[in-house]
A and B are shown apart, each in its own frame.
Chain A
Amino acid sequence: MSLILIVVAIGLVMQLSEIENYNFKDKELKDETQAIGKSASALFVNNPKLVCELTDYRDENKVLSYISNCIPEWAVATADCGGSITACKTWDKYGKNHRAFKPVLKEFLGLPANYSCYIKVTGGKADSSDALLLSDCELSPPAIAKNVYGIDLNVMIHNEINPGTGKTITVGKNELEACIKGDTANCFMYPATIKFLVWKND
C-alpha cells in the first residue's frame, strides 16, 4: 500500500513541477507582450513619424512641433504613392521630401518582426464615420493567439487636406487654436477611438 502511495506521490510532485514550469513560461510571455504592447501604444500617439505636425501659419511647410494624440488620416489615392496599398505602405518609409501621409508601420511602433498588431478606428470624421489609416498590421484580430495586449487609444484624427501643403499630416497653428477654442468651423480634428492589439506570433 505504501509503495503505491509513494508512486502516486512522486507522480504528483512531477505533475506539479510541470505545471509550475508551464506557468512560469506563460507568465514570461505575458510580461513580454505587455511591455512591448505598452511601449507600442505610447509610440502610436507620440512618435513624430506617426502624429500630426504643427506648422507655422506664415509658412505651412515649416514644422514647429508635433501634436501628441493627433493622427493624420490616410487621404491619398494609391496612384499617388506607388500604385498599390502595398507600395503605399513603404512609400514614405524613409522620409522622402514630398511626404503626404504617415503609414502606421510596425517599425515605427517598435514592434519586433515576430510580433503582430491589429488596428480598428471608430469615429474620426465630421459625420462620425470611421477614418482610414494605412498600416502593415493584420486585417483581423488574432483567432487563437494566447496572450494579447489590448488598449483603446483616445485620439484626434486630422482629415482635412491642408490647402497650403496639400497634406493631412500638417495642422496649422491657427487651426489648432480654433480646435482648442471650440471653433468647429475651422477645426478638422475629430475624436476617435483606436482599438490596438499586439501579440506574439507562435
Chain B
Amino acid sequence: MHLMDSVIIVAYFIGMLVIALLGKKAKSMADFAVGSRAIPTMIIVATLSATYIGPGYSLGLVDKAASQGYVWYVIFLAFSLQTVLTGWFVAPRLNAFSNAYTLGDVMGQRYGRLVQLVTGIMSVVLCAGFIGAITRAAGDIISTLTPIPFIAAVALSITIVVIYSTLGGVKTIVITDVIQFTVLAVSIPLTVFFIAGLGDGIGTISHNINEASLTLGGHFSWIVFAGLFISFLFGEVLIPPYANRALMAKDQGNAKWGFIFAGLFSACWFLVCATLGIFGSELLSIQDENNVLINVMQQVLPVGLFGLAAAGIIAVIMSSQSSLLNAAAVSFSQDIIATLHTQGLDNKKELLYSKLLTIGVGISAAFIALKSDSIVDALLVCYTLWAPTIVFPVIIATFKKNAHPLAALAAIVGGGAATAIWHWGLGNPGEVPAIVVGIAVNQVLFWSVQGLVGRQVSSHSWFYPQLPQEAQNQ
C-alpha cells in the first residue's frame, strides 16, 4: 500500500475519535438511546443507510454478483422494497410511541412486560450475533486492506467504536454515521467512473456485461429465487438499530421520508455494488471470489483515492458496529434489566448500565469473534427467528390498539417453534424457506388467539399493556 493511502486511513481513524470526543456527552437515556428525538430526514437517511450497509450489503453483494450476475441485485432489491414500505406504513406509527427508547418498549406498551422481555432478549442476541460477525469480517477486511494484522485490526475497530458509542451514545453515533456514510457513498461509487475510463468511456459498461450476468433465473430454481427474495424482504424488517432510527426522528414525517429515501438509496447502492462485482470478474478477470471489491479498487483507483475508498470500506464496518452496539446495550438495560426490576430503574442508573453494557457487549463480541466461529453462528440463530417471531406482532402493535398480549405471545412462540422445526428439524422440505412457514404460523396463531380472547383484559402485571397517554393518542 502506498504511503499516502496509509496516511489517509490512519487520519480517518483519528478523525473519528476526535469527532467523538468533541461531542457533548450523553446525560440522559433519551440522549443515549434516541438522540433526544430531534433528528431530521436527511440525517435519518444517512444513519439508517450507514447502519444497514455492513460487509454483507457491500462486499458480500460484490462477490455474489461477480460469480452469478445481476440476479443478486434483484434479490437485494427486496430489502429496498421492504425499507420503502416500512417507511410508508410503519416508521411514522413507531415514531408516535414518543416514550419508547426501543422496539421492546413499543411491544411492552401494547402487550405488557413479558412480551417486552422476550423482544429484549431476541434483540440483544440478534445484535450481539451481528456485531460478532461484523467484527470478524472487520479483522479480515482491515488486515487485507492495510498492513495491520488480524487481531490488531479487530481490536482497533472495536476500541474506536466502543469509545465513541459509550461517550455520546446514539447522538455521537449519528454524527459519525453521517460522516462515514458520506465517505462510503462517495468513494466506493467513484470506482465505477474509473472502470468506465479503462476502455471506451461510457460504452465500456454495456459492452462488457455479458448475457449470462443479466439472466435473472438462470442460477437458481424459481422456488429458491422466490425463497431468497422473501428472506431479503422480511429478514431484517425493523431489527433494533433500524427501529431506533424511526424512534429518534424529529417527527412522523421525518421518520417516514427518512426510511423511504434510505430504501431508494439502497436500490442505487446495490446496483453500483453489483456492477462493480460483474466488472471485477468480466473486465478485470479477478479470480479471488472473496475480495472482489478490494481487488477492483486496487486495480483501478489511483493513489490517494484508493486510501479514501479503503476508508469507505472501514466506514461500512464501523458504522454498522456502533449502531448495533448501541441498540444491544439500550435494549439490554431497558427491555431486560428495567423490565425485571420490579421497582423500576431511575434514569441515571439506567444510563450508567447502558454505558457499561456498551463496553461489555463490545469487548465480548470482539472476544467471541476472535475465539469462536460457532458462538457467532449460534447467536445468528436469532436472525433466522426474527421475522417469524417479532416483526408482525410489532407491526400490528403500531396499528391496533386492542391487540391482545396473549395473541402476541402465542404468535412469537408458535412462529419461532415452527421456524426451528422446519429449518433445523426437517431441513426446509421442498426448498420452501422456513421464514415463510414461520410467518404463516405466527399470523394464524395471532389472529386465532386474538379472536378468542381479544375482548378480555388481563390484569396480570406481566400481560398488562404499559401504555402511556402519547401512544394512545396516535
Tell whether A and B belong to one assembly: no
Q: Give the A-binding residues of B (Cβ under 8 A).
A: none
